Each structure stands twice: as C-alpha cells, then as structure tokens.
Structure 1
Amino acid sequence: MSRYISWRNGRVVTSDLARSPQSTHSSGSKLDIPLARTATFRDRPHGMVVLDNNGIHTLKVDFCGCIGSPSVLDQLMNIGWFPATVKDLETCATIGLLHRFHTLNLQGRVPAYDFYNALEVLSDRAGLKDVPDRREQFMLMTREYQYLQMCKHAGRGHDGIGVPRSAGSAELVYGIDATKRGELAIQCQACPHPGINLPEGWEKAPPEKLWIYQLILSEDANFKMKGCATLTREKDPTLGPGFAYMVTNDEYLEHLSKYVDQDEISHCIAFAALWRANNKHAKGLRATGIGSRGKRYSNMDFLWFSTLMGITLLSIIASYDIACQWFCNFWERMKALPKEMHLPAGVKVQFKVLKFHLPPHVKKCHAPFSFNFTKWVGRTDGEGVERNWSWLNMIVRSVSVMGPGLREDTIDNFCGFANWRKTGNSLLCKMVLAIPNALLHNWAFNAFTDGLREGHEEELMLWEVEVRAWEQDHDQQCPLVWDTDGAQEEPTMEEVRLKITEEEHGAGGEGVMVRLEAMRRNRTSTQVADLQCKQTLLLGWLCSLRRESTRRPEEMLLHLPSSFPKEVRNQICVADLPTEEECLCLVQAHKVLRDLRWHLRIWMLAHRFKWKNLDGQAAYTKSQALSSDIEKRIKGASNRYRAAREALVGLQGDGPWQDVLKELRQQDVRGMNERTLNDEEKEEERKARILAGLPPDEDEVDEFGDVVEPTVLFNLETGEGTCTLSWIWYTGAAVDAMNDRKLHDNICVEWMKACARADRWREELVFLEEEMRRVLEFCYWKARWWDERHEACTGVSAELAEGLRAYAMEQAARKRAWAAKWELKWAAAWSRAMMVLRDDLVDVTDVVAVEVELEEEVAYGGI
C-alpha cells in the first residue's frame, strides 16, 4: 500500500488515502546526530520504507525545504521515525516498533530474525505482494536503538561537562563521546558504594561492624556463550567498547598475548569447565564463551581487576569455583597488570569457592574455602553469577552466530536487563526466609549444647576456643573436619556384614523382628518359610506363659503394668512389678537409642561406599540386600524405642524424663550429616523420580507399607546451612562418647557446624538489614543525581532542554517512589528482624509470622 506524507512549515500533512499511525507523535527530546541536509530529499517526494507494528509499508515522503526548517533527521524523529542510516536514507522504523521489539527481545528472548519474519507475515499473509526486504536495516536500527537507550538511562544525554578527547588534548567531547569505562552498566544498589550509600566514617568502624561494608564478588565463565568466526571486528565494531559490562577488546587481547602458553588450571577438581574450552566443540570459534571471569589465570586476572578499578573499600570476598588454586601468587600476578588495575594498599581479599562447586574439591579445600564456615559472610552462596548464566543461556543460539560487535552489544543489553530486575523484592524474600531460620538454628544449637553440657562443660569450652581461633586464622588445624586416619577409620563393609550376622544370630526369634517380617508385603518362598519358623519359635515361648494359640504370635498383646490405668494397676499387678517394668523400659530406651545411632552410622557408610565404589546394575543389586537389612534394623530399633517410651508414658506420665527421651518422629530418624527435605526439595525429588522412570507417587511406601520420608545424602556442603542435627545424636550421647572416641569426634564436628549455622543465619539478618538500608540510600542519592542533571540543562535549544528536564524529573521521581514503596513493604520484616536481633534470638516456638506481599520484579520497559 502506498502512502504520501509531506512536511510543510513544521507541520505534518498526509493524504486522504491513509494516515500514519505515528503522524501525531512528537518526541520529547532530539538525538544530536549530524545529518547532511540533502537537497534531493527536499526537492521532491522521496520513496521510503517504514517498519511499524502493523507491518512493512512503502511511502512517499515530502520533506520540508523551507528556510529555517528542521533537518531531515529532526523531521523524522519528531514524528517518531528512527532512520536506518544518515546517508542515502530509504528506511525507517517507528519508535513504537523498536520499543516493542526491545521489550520482547529482553523479556521473551525473541530474536530479531523471527520478529522481522512476523512483520513480513503481517504485511502479506497471502504471499502475493512484493514486500521490500529490510531485514539488515531492521537489525541495525534495533541495535542502535538499544544502545541509545542504555546511554539515555545512564544520563549521557544530560552530560554538560566535557572531557578531553585524549590524553593531553585540548579538545573537549560531550555526551556519548565522553562516556567512561563501565559508565553504562547498571550499578548494584545493595552493594557498598563509598560516598553514595555508606555512612561517613565507615572505614573507621570496629572489626565487629566493619564487615557489613565489605564487597562480595562472584566470578565464573560461561562456555555456552560461544561466538562463531563470522565477521571481523573491523566490519562489525562494538558501539560502546568497554562502556558497559564487556571489557575493551583491544586491551584484553593485548594482555592475553603475553600468556598464550599458560596452562589451564586443571588440578584439585574435575569440572568440565576446565577442559571444555579446548575440546573439539571449541575449535574454529572466535570466542569460546564469556567470562565473569575466566578459566585461565591471565583471563581471570584481567577481568577481575578490571571490575575493581577505582575501588576504595577495605575488604573483598572473592568467590570462584577454583579459588583454592587461583589465590596462589595472587598479589604477584597483580603486579604484572597495568597500574590502574592494582588494588589499593591495605585491601583485604578472602577467597572462597561457590557452594555448589565445593563438593568435587578435595577434602582439604572444603572447610577453608567454604562460605558456611567463614565468619561474617552471612548466608552468601556465591552462585549469583551462575543465575545470570541461566538467564543468558536462553539467547545462546542467536548470539553464537552474531558478529563480534553485535554479540558484545547484545550481551551488554541483556546483562543490563538482568541487573535491572534485581530490585527490592529479592531482599524481602531473603529476609522473610532468614528470620525463622535464624531462630530455628539458634534454638537447635542451644538444644544441642544443653544436651552435651552436663558432664562435658570443659570440652564444650575447648571446642568453642578451637573454632573461634580457626575463624581468625585458617592456617591453624581446622576443627570442622575430623581426621580419617588411624583410630578414626570407618569399619569396612566386611566388618559391617559380620556385625549384622552376629546380631541376627543373637536376635533369634525376637518379637519385633518377627513382626517386621510379617509386615513385609512381597516375600519369596524362602522368606515365607523363614518367617514361619520364627513365628513357631515365638509362639512356643508365648504358650509357655499363657494358653493362646489361635492368633499369630506377633499380634498377641502382652498385658504389662503399663497397659493398665494407674488407678487399677496396683490392684491387679504383683507388688513392685510396675517399678521393674519402668526400669526395664528406661534401660531399653537408652540401649535402643545407641543401637539406632549405630545402625544409622552403618547405613551412611553403606550408602557412601555404594556411591563411591560400585558401578553397574549387578553391583548395585548385590549391595541392595545389605542396605535393606540395615534399614530393617533401623526400623526395628525405632519401633522398640517408641514402644518403650509409650510404656514409660503410661507408667510415669509427663515429666522431666521426656526432655531426654523425646518423641521419635519419622524425620528424627536420620544420620548425623543428613537433613530433612523441605517441600520444594521434595518436589524436586519427585521430578527426579519421574526422569529416572520411577513412579512419582507423593506418598511412597516401603516394603512394610509405611510412608517413606525421603532424605538427602552426601550434600554436606550444599545443604550445610539449612540442616539441623536430630536430637537422637545429642540426647544421652555424652555417655556413649566417653566409650566411643569416633562418635565423640563426630559430635564435636557437628557441634561446631551447628555453631557455624547459627552464626551465619544471625549474620544474614544483619547483612540484609544493611543491604536494605543501602538500597534506600542509593535510591535517594540517584534521585539527587538526576536533580542535578535537571538543573544543568543549559546551552541547548528550548525544545531539547524541555525534554531533558522532563526525563530527569521522571527518573528522580521514580527513584524516590521506589524508595518509599520498598521502605513501606520492608517495614514489617525489618521490624521483626530487629526484634529478633535485639532479643538475642528468642525461643523459636514464639515466632510471629511475618506477613508480606511479594510482587513481580519491575519490568525493564518501565525505565
């Protein structure tokens, strides 16, 4: 469809055939991009292709050529048309179209190729028209538009202070030309920024408070973000080299050229990321990934120190999946970098390994490089960079085929969007999670300590001295990892089988075991025969006491004193018989707890052995018999304890004895290093079962018909901050510890871990409160920053000044509105957290739920 649009005396005139959807749109500001006043454009109507939300249109445009009329570029921008070029202009796109694609591209990851194909379909659904091909021009316009949006959001259009074009040059440049390195990057509002959101004199704070002003950085590389060798950098340059998140390419390559023969970090752990960059899938590529930071020392050093240029903080926590290797000779390698990248003297840097990446490391790396056991880091996991990768990996397919300049500009754009989404809602979620966990783990630690205090006060004091000394100096012996040599060696699988065989021989026809066998749902002929023999033996014992042979022996009731009400017990029972049963039940309860702890330790050993040493279906099948036998004993011990405790309740009633012999719930029957799954993890467990081809039944039952409570093994590092020790390990365990050195050492380590968990969750509350304060201070500072830009709109035309002031006022008002909104939303959680800290973590049973409203993150298009 042909249309005719003309411009006369500053006014748009259209024919009666069709009116442009953007004809009445006026821009609040103009972009200062020079464009020659081509006489050809003004002498006669000019053919032009315009891309709009409703398709691709061919138009005749008559530009105004009157004396004093706006430039061709201004005439286009004033009606909301963005030109594809400033020379030989033939294609434009409406601002509305570019804005829509920008939003869909960021939020929905819609590639420009697919979006343009949709425009062609809108223009000619039947495929009968000759739609002009403007795919390349569209991609160029979207790239320029997105870059200009980044410049506008950074206030580059409000820059009234010129800077020298080069060192020693007297010529000043303004606006985009004066952009400094990293100036287009969106700053983290919660991070410490001296002079912005830190109080005056923060650097003089005592050590017990100075830690809240430290910077925590995570770095990693993403080898999925490969780049094919398509165009050269000369043909496809970066629009903003080093202005946002990607470092300047020339400086980076110049640095790497000095280290072409450097070996990759390849020991201690076996992550695929360590060799992926050189495998067959990486050959022939211009880029094997993007780094935040890299996998070689040279890559890592340049990228990491580039991030910290100009830093004035005193303490930095650096997390990296191979930090145990990277920190070696760290300061010596810094001296080889340009001086502007050097850290100031006195800066303290601690090196940690991301929580999820820590388990594959050797054992000696676990405690020294663990966030869980590091003082003054709260519940930081260091995995924030990995979450960015999950976001960027959604655009891998389109980014991999881009030229070098477009690829870097696109990554900058998506990194900015990811940073923009990190608003106050995430802090509120963390605070809501931290409040009950701080209470829970403080209560669990106190209960653990109280259970060990009697008779072991000196040992507890010694343990605390050891762990506090190690927190201050990691060069000392780490008390959080027990020695596995000599006396601490775990029993072998042969010894375990021998112990189980001896127990089976001594148990004979034990009633509880017979009942468990009778409860089994599916039995073989051999198992049926074995069960019948045990039932016959047990029935013979019972018949010697009373005449009753019509029922199965495991179901016969034994009428002991505890089964009668207290008011009739003395009348029908032999004298002192209740007292004797009480003594027997007490002994049985304590003995069964020892047996239960022993079987759980053996169960953990068997599973670890299977996990590390067995491979193949045959080996797993053979080991399953042993695991089932151990689980049967665990279940039998649990039932015997519950029976003994129930008898004590009937004999003694409620009393202080219940503080030692507590109710044994299903979730309490777990190993020392296990933890109970929460609802979210249970859902992941069910998904994993589906992927493994197993039934996803929520209420899975075992072979005895009881509901299975799933537990997680071998995740001591990843789940360390959320696990709690079951009471069975510290109630009455002090007596066992004196006779079992192995159990004593294990309890010592678990006590120290419980102490670390309580400390980390308490620190998390303090950290989140400080981050919330910093976010509010940053918003108010940014509002004042925009106020200054509003006042500095001088030396330009009245129309441009009006647009600049309006934008600055809008941004300042938005920052203040965010601060007010977040302060109101955070009030309840903030108040509760302060109460928890002020009351020194009151009893967890007295927690008042914090009701908050969690909203979706702010959309990027609302900037």
Structure 2
Amino acid sequence: MSLLLLSVVISYDIACQWKLNLTKRMNGLPEHLQMPAAVALAAFISGIPKFHCPAHKEKCVIPHSLNLMPGIGRTDGEGIEHNWAEINRVANSTKEMGASYRHDVLDDHFGHHNWRKTLTTEKIAKCCQGMRHHQSFLRDFNSAIDDAHQGEWTAMIEAWECDKSSPNPYVHSKISLSEAQVCANLMDNEKIAISNGHQLPHEMTPSSFINMGLVLEDAQRRIKSDLTRSLGANGHTELHQRQVMLQRQIAHFRVIQRVYMVGIENWIEEQDMNLSDDIEDELLWLPSTLPPSDREVICTNNVAHIEAELHKGQCCDSLDKLHRQLHTRSHFVKHHNLDLRGQKANTHASSFLARFNSKINAAAEKYRVTRSALLELVGISELDKEFQYLEARDIVAPVDMVSGGKGIRRHRGFGLLWEFRMMKVMRNGPSLVQWWNEEVLLLKEEMRRTRQFLAWRAQQWQSVTNLSHQDMQIVAGAIAYAHRQAAVQHALLARFTFLWGTGADADITAAADELTECFVEDEVNFDDEEG
C-alpha cells in the first residue's frame, strides 16, 4: 500500500540528538521499511516536549520548539508525562494492593484518562477562551510599544517565516562579553604587544591594575553593606579584619597607581575636598573619577580605555545576575504561595526573601555605579545605545509585567531589564494567536474523526454474526454483546453529534472564523480596534 507522507512530527526528550543519525539508522532497516533519505529529512520534524525544553540550551531549544512549528497548535508533546502525573496520585493506594487488583485499578485509570481525551467539548471551549485572551493580550502589548519597534519585529518574523535562512527572530543575536571575557581579551592583547617589543613600566599589566581597582571597589561596597546589618561580636571582628586587609591592598594599589597615573598624588593634593577616614569610603581615583582634561594628562598606557571595557563587562554581568535573581525570586514566591504553610515555614521564607532582595538591590546598585563610571568615560550618546539607566520600576520579574496581560496597562513602556524579553513576547504575540487558532482547528478535526471512528466501530460490532462454537448459548450471548456494543457506539455518536454538531459547534466555528479573519487581515494592528 502506497502512502503519501507530508510531514511527521516526532516529539522526543532528546530529539536534537536522535535526529543526527536518522538517515544512517534508516538505511539499516529492512528494505520494505526504508524510505529515501531526502523524503525522511523533509517529512520528519523533530521537536522537544515543552516540559523538557528548559533542560536544553537555547541554541538547541529554538530549532526544536513546538511553539515555533506551524500546524502544531498547543500540542505540548508530553502525552506520557500527562499519564504519569495522573497515575502518581493513585500510587499511595495501589502500593498496598495485590498485583492483580493493582493492574485492574491502573487499567481503569488509564482507560478513564483515554476516555476523557475523547470528550473534547471542554477542551475546545478552553481553546476558544485562550484565543480571545491572547488576542486581547496582543492588542494591549501593541499599545504599549512604539510603531518603529513593532514594524521592525514584524518584518523580521515575516522574513524568517518565508525563508528559514534569514536571521531567526527568536534567537538573541547580540553577544555581550562578561567582565572575565573582557579581561582575558585585554590580557591577550597585552601579551601580543609585549611579544612585539612593547615595554611596560611595571610588572603588573595595565589591565591587571584597573581590574585590581575594580575588585577593591567591590570590596568597599560589600563592607558598606555589612556595616548596615546588625552584627554580633564575631561579625564585628571579622569585619574589622576585612577592613585592615582592604587597607593594605589599597596601599599596594597606590604604589602601582603612581606608575600608570603619573602625577595623581599631586592632583589629589590640589583638590579641595573633605576625604573620609573610613577605608570603605576612600576614593581610589580610577580614570573615570577624573575630569576629561586631567584624565588625558595623567592616565598612561591606555588605562582609561581599559577601564571602560571592563565596566561594559561589569554592566553585562550585573544585568545577567539581575535576570537570574528575579526569575529565582518569582519561582520561590510561587512555591511559597502554593506549598508553604505554618508560621515556621513562612518565617524562614520571609528571611530568605529579605536576603534575596538585598542581593537584588546590590546587583542593581552595582549596575548603576558602573554605568555612571562608564558614562564619564564614553559619553551619553554611545552609552544609551547599549546600557540605559536602570530605574526602580525596571527591577521586576517578567511575570509581574505580563501576567494575564494586566501588567501592560500598569507599565505603558517596558524597562531596560526585560526589553529583550518583551521583544520576544512581541515576536511571539501573533504566533500565540495563530497557535490557539490551529489548536481549535485541530480539535474540530479530532471531533470529526471521533464521530467517524464511532460509526466505523458500530459497524464492526454489527458485523460480528458468523461465530462458530459448539455451545449455541455462548454464540447467542456473544452476538447479543456485540449488538449491545454497537448500540453503545451509536448512542455515543448521536450524543456527540448533538453536542458538537449543533449550537456548540456553531459557536466554536464562529469564534474560530472571527479570530482567523482578524489574524489574516492584520496580525498586529489591534490598536485601531481599541480606539
């Protein structure tokens, strides 16, 4: 029998690895099971189930995401996990049963699970509700961003959907270097310069000198933060030891500073300012703290440029740290609201959140201080292209901004932290509407196939008439049972036809057609409708 194969979606936890040797394994199959390699590569679409996607790297998730595949709808690919999630709830009772009875109970639960999958009225009603919700969400989101970004992102999506060789709009193409990577690059450049005969005035390289100053600034910030806490006797002793060690390190830093920042001591003496006696408040006088005219005279060996590059890496590190911490906090709060009960658990949770919030505030403050130093070195025009000012309203988790679409009305413009995240939301917005539309269409097709299957199944039971057995009573009983099963299938067919083929189906069709028309005519211009 010939088969026309258009496409087959294969959902597998490690589909990204499974597909690599697909053609090789295909050639190892018996000849009657083989298919041309070109057909297999074109027809087989590999996807990673949605629950398992977070365990993969981004470069692996994007090409195999079920959310980005046309025709998939809202399929999550976790059919087996759904079964396990339901059966786990009966484990406490079945583990006390005998083997035979346990198998019967599990069979009943599996059968009930499969039976509920046949009754799709509730599911399709939820899908229609989801379509309307995401249509409203997309409208709200479009009203919160400017037309330039909206047009740019939409053009990227359309170009990629037409030609997959175009830049993928769902991949973050911008690569930001961390402070460690910037430092390593600077040291490599210094090694090359030394090998070419360039002489350094000190055994410590310029990049190591600036990096030492930045490390000392971090130590000062940590000591300042600890001074605001209530410390015991041991805490005060440890803090004093850290202050003494910091004082020695700064003294060593001053010696090297005279080499790379010539005349810095005389310049400091000429300044009329009240300097603090506390070591954690002592100014290190890095190039960013000097006026531009004095910086050009005092700084040598390109230390000002080195500080600017390291500050860029620090800004990237601070933002990445904020992203991680805000995600972690939002997940912990969700866990706290769902699972934690009692005074003891809530007290521990409150203490943890307080410590975590202090870490978030420290990362935000470091970004602001680093950005201010970078502003002095490169100027506002170049800085705003990469690192914008971080306001307090920007420091929120993404779920706080877009949960249910309500956050968009509170935040008419999106902050720095989640600009890229919101860009992904905008790119996914029209796709989300289309996914829900596809899900409705897929469910309607499943309804049609369910009714077709019931009619076929009833016919199969009715055809059971020619039975051979010595005992005619058994034959009569089997035929009666077959007719009973056929009647059950006919009753189900009549019931489903009534539920799906009358008013309910008309409402579903109207909702799907209305949304399809909106999506086809204008994927993103819902602002005009909002008026």
Aligned residues: 341
Which residue is equivalent to 2:479? 805
State the SS of the aligned residue for 2:45.
Answer: strand
* Residues 724 and 450 of structure 1, relative CA distance in 2, 3 Å threshold: closer
Aligned to 2:440: 765
TM alignment of 1:55-134, pairs within 5 A: none
Do structure 1's residue 627 and structure 2's residue 365 form an aligned pair? no
- For residues 787 and 328 of structure 1, the distance between their equivalents in structure 2, rounded to whole angstroms, comes to 48
CA distance 1:765–1:525, change in 2 (3 Å): same
Out of 171, 182, 185, the position equivalent to 1:481 is 171
Render the CA deviation track for 1:126-181: whole Å, top value 9, x for unaligned: xxxxxxxxxxxxxxxxxxxxxxxxxxxxxxxxxxxxxxxxxxxxxxxxxxxxxxxx
Partner Cα distance (2:330, 2:175) in 1: 21
- The offset of 1:428, in angstroms, is 2.0
Quick check: 1:365 aligned with 2:84?
no
Give the distance between the partners of 1:369 and 1:831, measured in 2 at CA: 35
1:352–1:369 CA contact under 8 A, matched in 2: yes
Q: Deviations over 1:442-475 (max 9, x none)?
A: 22223433554634564244223234236xx3x6
Corresponding residue of 2:49: 354
Distance 2:27 2:12 in 1: 21
In 2: Cα distance, 1:316 partner to 1:419 partner:
26
The yes-or-no answer on 1:468 pairing with 2:161 is: yes
CA distance in 2, matches of 1:367, 1:488: 23
The answer to whether 1:754 aligns with 2:473 is no
Match of 1:336 among 25, 28, 32: 28
Cα distance per residue 1:539-595 (max 9 Å; x no partner): xxxxxxxxxxxxxxxxxxxxxxxxxxxxxxxxxxxxxxxxxxxxxxxxxxxxxxxxx
Aligned counterparts of 1:824 and 1:818: Cα–Cα separation in 2: 10
Shift in Å, 1:784: 0.9
Amino-acid identity (%):
23
Q: Name the SS of the counterpart of 1:432 in structure 2.
A: helix
Displacement of 1:340 in angstroms is 5.8
Tell me the CA shift for residue 343 of structure 1: 6.2
Partner residue of 1:814?
488
Task: Check whether the contact 1:318–1:349 (CA below 8 A) recurs between aligned residues.
Answer: yes
CA distance, structure 1, for counterparts of residue 22 and residue 92 of structure 2: 32
**Residue deviations 1:223-259 (CA, integer Å, cap 9, x gap):** xxxxxxxxxxxxxxxxxxxxxxxxxxxxxxxxxxxxx
**1:387 and 2:82 equivalent?**
yes
8 Å contact 1:600–1:671 — kept in the other structure?
no
Q: Tell whether the 8 Å contact from 2:71 to 2:438 is kept in structure 1 after alignment.
A: yes
State how far apart, in whole Å, the 2-side matches of 1:816 and 1:384 are.
Answer: 28
Relative distance call for 1:460 and 1:762 in structure 2 (3 A) is: same
Q: Letter of the 2:475 partner, please give it.
A: A
Write the distance in 1 (CA, Å) between the matches of 2:470 and 2:115: 35
AA paired with 1:365?
Answer: C
Q: How big is each residue's C-alpha offset from its partner over 1:54-113, in whole Å with a ceiling of 9 and x where there is no partner? A: xxxxxxxxxxxxxxxxxxxxxxxxxxxxxxxxxxxxxxxxxxxxxxxxxxxxxxxxxxxx
In structure 2, the residue matched to 1:430 is: 123
Question: What is the CA RMSD across the aligned residues, in angstroms?
Answer: 5.1
Matched-pair contact (CA < 8 Å) for 1:379–1:764: yes
Structure 1 residue 821, shift from structure 2 partner: 1.9
Q: SS of the residue aligned with 1:351?
A: strand
- Contact 1:318/1:350 (CA < 8 Å) preserved in 2? yes
Q: Deviations over 1:113-136 (max 9, x none)?
A: xxxxxxxxxxxxxxxxxxxxxxxx
Contact 2:73-2:436 at 8 Å conserved across structures: yes
Q: Distance in 1 between matches of 2:141 and 2:354?
A: 38
Deviation readout 1:157-214 (Å, 9 max, x if unpaired): xxxxxxxxxxxxxxxxxxxxxxxxxxxxxxxxxxxxxxxxxxxxxxxxxxxxxxxxxx
- Structure number with higher helix proportion: 2
Q: How does 1:647-796 map to 2 (within 5 A)?
A: 671-672=397-398, 724=405, 726-727=407-408, 731-732=412-413, 745-790=420-465, 792-793=466-467
Aligned-residue offset at 1:427: 1.7
1:106 matched to which residue of 2?
none
**CA separation of 1:340 and 1:366: change in aligned 2, threshold 3 A:** same
Structure 1 residues 456 and 420: CA distance shift in structure 2, 3 A: closer
Higher strand share: 1
Question: Measured at CA, do residues 454 and 357 of structure 1 come closer, stay the same or move farther in structure 2, by a change above 3 Å?
Answer: closer
- Give the whole-Å Cα distance in 2 for the aligned partners of 1:344 and 1:423: 38
Asked whether the 8 Å contact 2:461–2:486 carries over to 1, the reply is: yes
**Which of the two has higher C-alpha Rg?**
1
Check conservation: 1:672, 1:729, Cα contact below 8 A. Answer: no
**Counterpart-to-counterpart distance in 2, 1:317 and 1:400:** 40
Q: Tell me what 1:565 maps to.
A: none
- Per-residue deviation, 1:747: 4.1
1:480 shift after superposition: 1.0
- Deviation (angstroms), 1:331: 2.8
- Checking the alignment, whether the CA contact within 8 Å between 2:10 and 2:47 is kept in structure 1 is yes
Quickly say closer, same or farther: Cα 1:785–1:398, change in 2 above 3 A: same
Q: Is the 8 A contact 2:83 2:113 kept in 1?
A: no
The Cα shift of 1:390 comes to: 3.7
Contact map agreement 1:312 1:344 (CA 8 A) in 2: no
Is residue 160–residue 166 contact of structure 2 (8 Å, CA) maintained in 1?
no
Indicate if the aligned counterparts of 2:402 and 2:408 stay in contact, CA closer than 8 A. Answer: no
Give me the whole-angstrom Cα distance separating, in 1, the residues matched to 2:30 and 2:109: 31
Cα offset, 1:835, TM superposition: 0.7
Q: Which residue in the other structure is 2:17 paired with?
A: 325
Quickly say closer, same or farther: Cα 1:400–1:350, change in 2 above 3 A: farther
How far has the Cα of 1:811 moved from its partner? 0.7
Is 1:833 equivalent to 2:513 in the alignment? no
Q: 1:398 to 1:834 in 2, by over 3 A?
A: closer
For residue 764 of structure 1, give the secondary structure of its aligned residue in structure 2. Answer: helix
Gaps of 5+ in 1: 1-308, 502-522, 527-598, 633-665, 678-722, 844-863
Specify the SS of the correspondent of 1:423.
helix
The Cα of 1:778 is off from its aligned counterpart by 0.7
DSSP 3-state at the match of 1:480: coil
Q: Are the aligned partners of 1:463 and 1:748 in contact in 2 as well (CA < 8 Å)?
A: no
What letter matches 1:371 in structure 2? L
